[in-house]
Amino acid sequence: DVKVTQSSRYLVKRTGEKVFLECVQDMDHENMFWYRQDPGLGLRLIYFSYDVKMKEKGDIPEGYSVSREKKERFSLILESASTNQTSMYLCASSLQGTTDTQYFGPGTRLTVL
């Protein structure tokens, strides 16, 4: 079974802190994604990566950056956390191809105080 793991299920940080969210997948997938999920807004794509060291902005990249130094690991970075970044963060991965099913991690609920 494909497994996507995220470093924390729950995280509480203070405004202005630098926050790292880690995601690891074990199926040698080329593509990895970061979404945030907010009530009434569904899932929104922040960034995605289709190869090591490659990244593309999603729909809401402002306030975030990403890093992909190894194929299996994709990190989301909040340079200076703000209260409006309180959300559920979901990581996903997929193979490249027409079926490209996305496999999601369990999510990290981040609270910024």
How buried is 93 (Cβ within 10 angstroms: 0-12 exposed, 13-18 middle, 19+ buried)?
buried
CA distance 28 to 20: 22
Nearer to other proteins, 3 or 14 (CB): 3
CB of 16 to other proteins, least distance (A): 28
CA distance 48 to 29: 12
In angstroms, give the least distance from the CB of 82 to other proteins: 24
Interface residues with other proteins (CB under 8 A)?
A: 4, 31, 35, 40-45, 48, 50, 56, 58, 90, 92, 94, 96, 98-107
Min CB(6)–other proteins separation in Å: 9
Residue pair 79/95 in contact (Cβ under 8 Å)? The answer is no
Which CB atom, from 13 or from 44, has the smaller least distance to other proteins? Answer: 44
